[in-house]
């Protein structure tokens, strides 16, 4: 069975850009950062490009290798994510509000026909649960 490809959240691109920016400020190339963090180079590239999600563990290792706090990287990403291009600079709080609103929306992949009414817990009677073989059920 083929795996469905996961679509990254738009915030992932901003987080990747913040990681790349922090790496550039430390004058490190990807190879060196990958070696220091233990993250394979191809994975690190996908994180910086925003193609894949960055885990908290990876973010902590990256931040430690760059000698910057993970919070600083996330704040840079939130500030960039919150800017809409029309109102000028944004704060990390603006970005966080926007991020929370985007993940609070219901998934767009569900259709009205997919809604299932919850009926509660329904357990079979003891007699029905015990009689799984049709021959036994027929003799009762």
pLDDT digits (tens, 9 = 90+) for 101-123: 887 766 566 566 666 666 666 66
Q: Give how far Cα 84 sits from Cα of 7, 19, 72, 89, 117, Å.
A: 21, 20, 20, 9, 39
Both structure tokens of 57: 């563990």
Cα distance between residue 54 and residue 123, in whole Å: 42
**For residues 8 and 16, is the Cβ–Cβ distance under 8 A?**
no
How many CB atoms neighbour CB 19 within 10 A? 25
Enumerate the domain spans of the chain: 10-104
pTM of the model: 0.67
Lookup result for tokens 């990256």: 62
pLDDT digits (tens, 9 = 90+) for 37-48: 999 999 999 999
We find that the CATH architecture of domain 10-104 is: Orthogonal Bundle (1.10)
């Amino acid at each position: 069975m083929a795996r469905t490809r996961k679509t990254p959240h738009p915030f992932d691109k901003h987080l990747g850009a913040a990681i790349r920016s922090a790496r550039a400020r430390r004058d490190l190339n990807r190879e060196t950062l990958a070696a220091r963090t233990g993250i394979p180079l191809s994975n690190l590239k996908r994180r910086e490009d925003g193609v894949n999600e960055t885990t908290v563990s990876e973010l902590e290792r990256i931040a430690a290798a760059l000698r910057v706090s993970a919070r600083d990287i996330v704040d840079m990403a939130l500030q960039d994510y919150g800017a809409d291009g029309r109102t000028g600079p944004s704060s990390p709080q603006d970005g966080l509000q926007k991020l929370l609103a985007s993940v609070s929306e219901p998934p767009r992949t569900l259709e009205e026909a997919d809604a299932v009414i919850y009926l509660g817990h329904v357990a079979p009677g003891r007699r029905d649960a015990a009689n799984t073989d049709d021959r036994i059920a027929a003799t009762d």
